[in-house]
Structure 1
């Protein structure tokens, strides 16, 4: 009878003339994987060199390729980006929407799958029943040699991420899909052995009486469980439970594989264990340095621990967590894993750092969902007075931070930067905005010193376009002070240097504002009596009087019921009891007429014209530059990314960066817009249009 994997040494076994050995194929897999990682590392190194070159360039267009080599590199990069960023439209299935990953990562996973399948079946005749054992052996050897890559992609202290310049959070997506490739390989391995035994009705006997077969089948069952529980809908039910069961099942899987594998290939099991130990030791060592006060006596008065955090409850079920004088340094856009055992024992969650290092404090804005974040909010809400904007700051609690994590190319190397955030995505985009504005200020204040000492410039960025989409005005209050600090930096630059030529454009899109009240019932009845609307449509037209709000003046309001708006093809979801809701995309914000502002329907002054409400006008009047309202454009509706990005690119004199953080729908729109504009403008293909770098911040796809 045939023997299962482990009954005899198989690494050097001959499977026929010209058929490669099993060890040779395992090595070939890692030659291919290593070559791919090396190529990505070379690209990452070139990008770093390019960034340094731009900051040392004293010309007026530092972000524009000037040498023949970098021009060719820019053309190749632009072509690769168009392919890599492309994504198809989401698929709606009932109440659910399925979002697809961009083409670039998909091609990498498909390439890995093709390599694995070719190595599994190369020069083997699967139609020959006498070769099924060979297929079983081959697929087993190929399956087990994939384990190190899976563990390399899973660690937070990630060697691959360090080489290729990619965050562990993004690599985790590859970890999941390569794990599924491993499952497929293991299934083929098991399937061919079962297929061979089925000829003799021998499957049940082997499972009951052969320990090696039993261990292998157990390993496959555990791997199947891991794969199923890692699917996004199940994983998101309870992240804490997912992490716990993932660790438990992982240990069971490794033990089962180690018992099933022959001694000659157990090295492929020991390598993942070594990687895991390295990741844990590195994390705990760094965590000890970051959190023990003995290493940061200047940062804390505590006897043992470095960090003490205050908790403040804010409107919208938001908890602001503040750590003064943190013991670690970070870059804008990074995140840390935050742990507070006194409130949420044995749990650690990733939160984006909403402040910049200059603040000398870490701030986190955490929306209360389930589990630990809900407990944070409950603790911060103690003592809250009914109707108060925020609860008193809760007393400090000892917290532990792990990190920082997250990787993004420095935005200071780009000529123009577009930052788009949706909701709490501003915790990622706002520090990036503040970092560039701070660099502008530092450059102006130290301009004479830099010229005399030939210091490199701090930033090559000339213009910033910041777009933030929020549901209500209360969310805007979270970052109002930070936006004020950005404008204060710009004003300081203009005061010191009157010919300061940097541009910044800020837009706040409000999709549903509870402070925009519809007209009163008598006003509505008056409109109906005048024949302007019928009593079935529930349409409110333009108000003659302005409505005063906290920061701005609302000149006019027009909302429609869902039935009317559906017929008109405009904004939906406007409910009189909940204020003004406008979700219609605004194709051109600059085309909004301040004299004919409406929320989601045609203005009486301009019949048939659909324009959203402009709450505050944009102006470049330097006399009022200190006012936030004079510099930020408040608009009701949703942004149209393609138009926003195109207007920035038309002015760009070098490579531009587009950064988005928010709902997956917004990220998809931005991806498609960047691909469309790159192709339309024939970036780096002879038209003179400059490149577009895209960064989408999310935890996987």
Structure 2
């Protein structure tokens, strides 16, 4: 059968024109994007209004419109934040995505299936070719959406206020929907050809059939290789094969498509080219010293150079002085250092704030480049956690891409709860410091501060991990007191709680590893908290190499749950029958056990006089627990449903579902 026909004039029986159905699909997509854009605009207006509100409750709705909007937002949040409990299969836990993103992915799939089969009878053998044509039209019309969702310089993310990492999850599910639609397309043609037993003949001799089948095979490989268990095997290999396969897929689709529908392929190619050109142009600007002053002592071609310092917990601190780009607290950078790890780029959260005038990245050593960074840092550091003398300090040229990441300004909320597990503090500590820095700035300028209370919770495995941010956290009470003295009429407060879930000071360190005197040794690297996304994560930590790890004898593990970190700082668990000592620092009280997130969040909400923000970054178990706690408390308190309870904004910084 020759499929090269004028599709614009073909008869689809009782169904509408396939070109019309393509427009319907994009009208639905446009409606979703329009709704997200409207919400993003309103959120920006709310932030603008609150930061200039001189009343005692600037983060509280002041009009009927914003009260109604707050009620609708509360209902939508309760539904979208909800997350089912994980399931365990053979000692492995499988976590679910939140219902909000799942609902969007399912809605897209339902729309696609309806458009594929609307007014067509799948049991009528004379309709099978019509279904084959229509499903082909719907399949190719979805291609631009895949590329819209995939780009780092993301147009949808910009207008809707959504980070590209979250859109990348939807990108994968849209791609799976495209694969399903393409399977319908191929299946009904096969079903029609099967009546006459010439499927094999068509695949051997028909121009369109051969290229269409090749495109389906490539897409199938892309979908399988993009699943989390496969892509976690090796990020570098995943990226290379993903790009190669997508190029092959686009070529095969372009050869398979007729002239009437090639426009969808060209749009996809245009979006891909736009993303690459925008990224490479910006990367050139921030990485070449001809545009920016070099951070090194001598002027070189490259604008950014970094020093590497080993820290407890197999963590490397990467410091880039006077970087060629700005950033905001909570954003992340893609970093490459080809002198240490050639041809590898990974995303890491920026652990510093712009006032530091330097980018600091804390990178946990796993496989690939992260492991090589730690090896290099160990080689050029005399004592763990310290930097060599300035005269002998070695730096390497690094290449930056970014910054990326979008988060609603936390300065507009009355109360902020920051919860982190392990390396998740690289996300929450800059947010904490940014709010306090705005307090200090406001005290000097005499401006109104919206945020009144901050609760900072950090769960770590070892007391040694506290050294990652100990200086910043110990300075926090002094900074807050200074702000209070400058403007005593506005009450501000920061409560910090550090939870040690497994204090490894009780364990004997390996004798052949350099470490700081009287400092606890780190645990073997745990997953969670590092900025590397699941699809870009280097993998689980290896057992060999120069990693600093404590023996697992004794089964040191704190399983107790601490209900309130402000009530008591005594020991909450024991390890191997021994009792660790509690912290003697009044400014950074240590508790031993796991934080009970629900009472912590409830206390902050009860004290809030306006909308609150809850931010969490850490392992999936912690993130899901916080999600469920926020949904439960929102429902329990009947937020914006006549009780006077104010809204709860939740941001979960996780790295791929």
Provide the TM-score with structure 2 as the length reference. 0.90
Deviation at 1:483, TM superposition (A): 0.8
Cα distance change on mapping 1:132 and 1:377 into 2, 3 Å:
same
Higher mean alpha-carbon deviation, 491-500 vs 674-683, is at: 491-500
Q: Is the 8 A contact 2:507 2:551 kept in 1?
A: no
Match of residue 539 from structure 2? none
Is 1:8 the counterpart of 2:5 in the alignment? yes
Deviation at 1:207, TM superposition (A): 1.0
Which of 483, 505, 509 aligns to 2:495? It is 505
Match of residue 636 from structure 1? 592
Is 1:24 the counterpart of 2:14 in the alignment? no
Is 1:484 the counterpart of 2:460 in the alignment? no
Is 1:289 the counterpart of 2:265 in the alignment? no
Q: Is the 8 A contact 2:464 2:519 kept in 1?
A: no
Match of residue 530 from structure 2? none
Match of residue 242 from structure 2? 246
Indicate the RMSD between aligned Cα atoms, in angstroms. 2.3
User: What are the within-5 Å matches in structure 2 for residues 228-247 of structure 1?
Assistant: 228-247=224-243
Deviation at 1:593, TM superposition (A): 7.6
Match of residue 536 from structure 1? none
Match of residue 445 from structure 1? 444
Q: Unpaired runs of 5+ in structure 1?
A: 451-456, 519-547, 552-573, 605-611, 618-628
Q: Is the 8 A contact 1:586 1:638 kept in 2?
A: yes
Is 1:76 the counterpart of 2:43 in the alignment? no
Partners of 1:325 and 1:356 lie apart in 2 by: 12
Match of residue 560 from structure 2? 584
SS of structure 2 residue aligned to 1:581: coil
Match of residue 257 from structure 2? 261
Which of 565, 573, 592 aligns to 1:599? It is 573
SS of structure 1 residue aligned to 2:416: strand
Which of 335, 340, 350 aligns to 1:338? It is 335
Total equivalences in the alignment: 615
Q: Is the 8 A contact 2:480 2:493 kept in 1?
A: no
Which of 87, 90, 96 aligns to 1:91? It is 87
Q: Is the 8 A contact 1:614 1:635 kept in 2?
A: no
Is 1:311 the counterpart of 2:308 in the alignment? yes
Partners of 1:427 and 1:170 lie apart in 2 by: 19
Partners of 1:517 and 1:219 lie apart in 2 by: 56
User: What are the within-5 Å matches in structure 2 for residues 567-578 of structure 1?
Assistant: 577=553
Partners of 1:593 and 1:631 lie apart in 2 by: 12
Q: Is the 8 A contact 1:380 1:391 kept in 2?
A: no
Cα distance change on mapping 1:189 and 1:632 into 2, 3 Å:
same
Q: Unpaired runs of 5+ in structure 2?
A: 509-516, 521-549
Cα distance change on mapping 1:388 and 1:303 into 2, 3 Å:
closer
Q: Is the 8 A contact 1:514 1:578 kept in 2?
A: no
Match of residue 364 from structure 1? 361
Q: Give deviations 1:557-591, integer Å, cap 9, x for gaps.
A: xxxxxxxxxxxxxxxxx999558531222233345
Match of residue 371 from structure 2? 374
User: What are the within-5 Å matches in structure 2 for residues 106-255 of structure 1?
Assistant: 106-255=102-251
User: What are the within-5 Å matches in structure 2 for residues 605-616 of structure 1?
Assistant: 615-616=582-583
Cα distance change on mapping 1:383 and 1:294 into 2, 3 Å:
closer
SS of structure 1 residue aligned to 2:8: coil
SS of structure 2 residue aligned to 1:47: helix
Q: Is the 8 A contact 1:161 1:167 kept in 2?
A: yes
Q: Is the 8 A contact 1:513 1:579 kept in 2?
A: no
Is 1:471 the counterpart of 2:470 in the alignment? no
Partners of 2:581 and 2:71 lie apart in 1 by: 40
Deviation at 1:95, TM superposition (A): 2.9
Partners of 1:12 and 1:485 lie apart in 2 by: 73
Q: Is the 8 A contact 2:562 2:572 kept in 1?
A: no
Q: Is the 8 A contact 2:569 2:591 kept in 1?
A: no
Structure with larger RCO (C-alpha < 8 A, sep 6+):
2
Q: Is the 8 A contact 2:311 2:317 kept in 1?
A: yes
Provide the TM-score with structure 1 as the length reference. 0.84
Partners of 1:251 and 1:55 lie apart in 2 by: 47
Partners of 1:379 and 1:613 lie apart in 2 by: 33
Q: Is the 8 A contact 2:74 2:639 kept in 1?
A: yes
Partners of 1:12 and 1:109 lie apart in 2 by: 33
Q: Give deviations 1:290-327, integer Å, cap 9, x for gaps.
A: 11112223856423221111111222211111000111
Q: Is the 8 A contact 2:328 2:353 kept in 1?
A: yes
Match of residue 530 from structure 1? none
